[in-house]
Structure 1
Amino acid sequence: MKHLIATLTVTLGLAGAALAADPIEGTWQTEPDDGAYAHVAMAPCGAALCGTITSTFNANGAYQSPNLGKTLVIDMVAQGGGAYEGKVWRPSNDKIYLGKMDLNGDTLRLRGCVAGGLICSKQTWTRVK
């Protein structure tokens, strides 16, 4: 009986953790930037979400970018309604911007902004299946 209760407790705990996963967790494909694109793994980082570059591609296919393993999406916090705020790093100019994201199904719109959000660069990412 104790074994059954322990098994049920573990099973329910794992199911609860799976249900608590944020909808942007997973792998996303960026738009091409300076002729290359990446796969970014979105996962929890403390109380926020971060995105790490896991693969990079150019016209010749996969390649070993010096940016592999670097954090592209930094400390994004859910604001409700599929909106997130934090920071984004742009590898092509090595700058960090005020970041915003909006989730819509398997599409993630990112904006990196300066001047309090008045001037923004945008990308739309798609979920990798």
Structure 2
Amino acid sequence: MVFRPYLFAAVLISASVAALSAQADPIQGTWQVEPDHKGQVGQVVIRRCGESFCGRVVKVHDSTGKSVVTRSMGRDLFWGLKAKGNGRYEGGRVWVPLYDREYDAKAQLRGDRLRVLGCIGPLCDGQTWFRSR
């Protein structure tokens, strides 16, 4: 009988820890990417994919705001990014539709701005994405 209160407390603590770990990471959500070379702008939804994050193109519109269908629609632009702390994400891959190539991926989150980079060794280039409301 003495152990029951401790058992109940242990169950509550375990449930609280599980709930906290299930909360959304700040990188998760919908992001608007910079216009591409055709002036098309996409929206990417970043979600958990196992122990990492991935980002899928869900919408694309042209410079007039008209929805368009592109080969990147429904495809993951990046995958395997892992949180490293202080808004840094690394360890994944990014697909760049313009070149149809994959590169090492990194990202840096600062408020409602996400700098997404594709890298070959120490050389990186990328875009700044903005959180969609």
Answer yes or no: same fold by TM over 0.5.
yes
Unaligned runs of 5+ in 2: 1-11
Give the structure-1-normalised TM-score.
0.82
Could you tell me how far apart the structure 1 residues matched to 2:21 and 2:132 are?
19
Could you tell me how far apart the structure 2 residues matched to 1:30 and 1:95 are?
18
CA shift for structure 1 position 16:
2.3
Residue in 1 aligned with 2:6?
A: none
Residue in 2 aligned with 1:22?
A: 25
Residue in 2 aligned with 1:73?
A: 78
Give the structure-2-normalised TM-score.
0.79
Give 1:71-110 correspondences, 5 Å limit: 71-85=76-90, 86-110=92-116
> Alignment RMSD, CA only?
2.0
Please give the secondary structure, in 2, of the residue aligned with 1:63: coil
Could you tell me how far apart the structure 2 residues matched to 1:38 and 1:76 are?
20
C-alpha offsets along residues 52-71 of structure 1, whole Å, 9 cap, x if unaligned?
00000111322111211000
Could you tell me how far apart the structure 2 residues matched to 1:37 and 1:89 are?
16
Q: What percentage of residue pairs aligned between the two structures are identical?
A: 40
CA shift for structure 1 position 48:
0.4
Residue in 2 aligned with 1:121?
A: 125
Residue in 1 aligned with 2:117?
A: 111
Q: Does 1:53 align with 2:57?
A: yes
Could you tell me how far apart the structure 2 residues matched to 1:29 and 1:18 are?
27
C-alpha offsets along residues 60-105 of structure 1, whole Å, 9 cap, x if unaligned?
3221112110000111101111100111111111111111100001
Larger Rg, first or second structure (1 or 2): 2
Unaligned runs of 5+ in 1: 1-8
